[in-house]
Amino acid sequence: MGEINPRNPVLDGTAIRIEPETILPVTRQTPRPAGWLRFETGWLGPNQALQNLETATSLLQVLSKGLDALKEDMNEGIILLHNAWNQSDRSGKPSMEVDRQLSHRLGLIEEGVRECRFHGRGLLDGQSGVVGHGEGVDFIRGGPNTQDSPMEGFDVRITAFPTRAMLTGGVPVHENWLEAEAEIFLAEGDRFVRFVPNGKTTIAEFLDDLQKAITMAGLDLEVGLTRQRRLQVKHNQFGSHFKFKGCSRTTPLLAARPGRVEWSQKGQDIQGTLQGEPAFGVGRMLVGFLDNAQTSELAVVWRGESLSHGNLARCYVVQNGLQFQVGNGPQRNLRKISLPSFYRDAMGGWLETRSGFRSMAELRARTWQEVFDAMQVLFAVSCEVDEWRDKTRNWVQQYQNLALEVLRNEAAVAPEDGAIANEDQTVAQMAVVMRKMLARKPMVV
């Protein structure tokens, strides 16, 4: 057979080639995969089904190895930033060596993504998943059932905008209140800060000193003034999942009732639809429901950009995920694998930071705020990598079990003319196949 397009295999036994490139309005990504994979399609025999499973298992082994290397590089980056943060009094600027080593570590991550390939096809660079570009929103990722968008892109309609958890003081900030205040207390999770205002400072200096104390304590909070010049503390992350508490001890600078700890006002998640299909919000990120016909698991982030009439944005996507057949039947037992891009500019885009990092590609460590924010982003991306490692290991186990099922089914349908497979031979054959799949060396080209 000729080369088979794993994204859209035909089921009549004929062969087709990978489609010509579809141009997206973005220069960073290659929409169509450059590598070639061979998957048998049509009415499969046991050997053909096993070959498909062996190819998929070997591919997943390469993927697992690549994710392990990615995780190791990220852990070293987190340790680097954590040590820099904890081993300094943070009175001056971080050492330039910290920024240099962070840049080097990010370069290794990029190199690992680029080199994780199977038969010439990238596994971590978006060639085997969904790539996209947004107008008014940022594309984050897609899933195995995300469909190619039409030429005009998918409609992204926002019906409710996200907000952040906040605490607002009861009176306008004035120097007299600063002189009277004994302590401002703020807590997020198990981290807290007790800040004693200096009554002789200006309001601007007070806000700056309070923000520095919050940052040094590791709280993800931001200080400012409302239009009425009341003190306001906001969580840096949008949405309903984040909260904190606080109070001002002797004045209503931060609490309506001095000395009483109050919880922040709850933040709200974004609401909207994707191509008219339902979606749920996580902070600023809008995600298509799993059973959506076109936008299943499609995720985009609104960052405050201006939108067209009707709060409308657009997202252009191309599905490069793998699709292959492992058996016969009405649905031909089709399996799908779709992997996101792990390039630096595609990871960490959903996380908010005071340093303004829009992705892992922008991380730097030239100030202590940047050190803290870079550590936050790396940790969040590391958790995503952990999820994909677990998912990949589960896939390997599933496909090994499918191989055993194919062999059992073959033994069960043996002819009745005396050519029934010997049970010992069947068990031995299963063992050989499983040893082959487990010991198969990943083929990286």
CATH number for the domain harbouring residue 76:
1.20.1330.10
Q: Give the pLDDT confidence score for residue 19 in this predicted structure.
A: 38
- CA gap 7, 325 in Å, rounded: 11
My answer on whether 241 and 180 are in the same domain is yes
Q: Does the residue 157 lie in any domain?
A: no
Q: Does the residue 138 lie in any domain?
A: no
My answer on whether 9 and 123 are in the same domain is yes
My answer on whether 335 and 426 are in the same domain is yes
- CA gap 305, 301 in Å, rounded: 10
SS3 of residue 252 by DSSP: coil
My answer on whether 111 and 211 are in the same domain is no
My answer on whether 345 and 439 are in the same domain is yes
My answer on whether 125 and 181 are in the same domain is no
- Domain of 217, in residue numbers: 164-263
> Between the CA of residue 103 and those of 15, 61, 109, 124, 349, what are the distances in Å?
45, 28, 10, 20, 18
Q: Give the pLDDT confidence score for residue 263 in this predicted structure.
A: 94
Q: Cβ distance 216 to 229 under 8 Å?
A: no
- CA gap 307, 300 in Å, rounded: 14
Angle CA(322)–CA(54)–CA(340) in degrees, nearest 5?
30
When divided into structural domains, the chain yields a total of 2
Of 236, 263, 290, the residue at which a domain comes to its end is 263
pLDDT tens track, the chain, 445 positions? 333 333 333 333 322 233 334 455 544 455 566 666 777 777 777 777 778 888 888 889 999 999 999 999 999 999 999 999 888 777 788 999 999 999 999 999 999 999 999 888 889 988 888 989 999 999 999 999 999 999 889 999 999 999 999 999 989 998 888 989 999 999 998 999 999 988 788 999 999 999 999 988 889 999 999 999 999 999 999 999 999 999 999 999 998 889 899 999 999 999 999 999 999 999 999 999 999 999 999 999 998 888 887 789 999 999 888 888 776 655 567 788 888 889 998 888 788 888 889 889 999 999 988 998 999 999 999 999 999 999 999 988 888 888 777 777 665 555 544 444 444 455 555 555 555 555 554 444 4
Q: Give the pLDDT confidence score for residue 420 in this predicted structure.
A: 44
Q: Does the residue 270 lie in any domain?
A: no
Q: Does the residue 285 lie in any domain?
A: no
My answer on whether 229 and 326 are in the same domain is no
Q: Give the pLDDT confidence score for residue 7 in this predicted structure.
A: 36
Of 215, 243, 263, the residue at which a domain comes to its end is 263
My answer on whether 111 and 54 are in the same domain is yes
Q: Does the residue 196 lie in any domain?
A: yes
Cβ burial, residue 32 (10 Å; 0-12/13-18/19+): middle
Nearest by Cα to 358 from 138, 164, 211, 30:
138
My answer on whether 4 and 99 are in the same domain is yes
Contacts of 164 (CB under 8 A, 6+ apart): 234, 235, 236, 237, 238, 239, 242, 267
Of 244, 263, 282, the residue at which a domain comes to its end is 263
My answer on whether 191 and 125 are in the same domain is no
Q: Does the residue 415 lie in any domain?
A: yes
Contacts of 26 (CB under 8 A, 6+ apart): 133, 316
Q: Does the residue 21 lie in any domain?
A: yes
Model pTM? 0.77
My answer on whether 39 and 107 are in the same domain is yes
Q: Give the pLDDT confidence score for residue 221 in this predicted structure.
A: 94
Q: Does the residue 120 lie in any domain?
A: yes
> Between the CA of residue 211 and those of 42, 190, 223, 233, 390, what are the distances in Å?
64, 18, 6, 10, 39
Q: Give the pLDDT confidence score for residue 326 in this predicted structure.
A: 76
My answer on whether 80 and 191 are in the same domain is no
- CA gap 209, 212 in Å, rounded: 5
Q: Give the pLDDT confidence score for residue 272 in this predicted structure.
A: 95
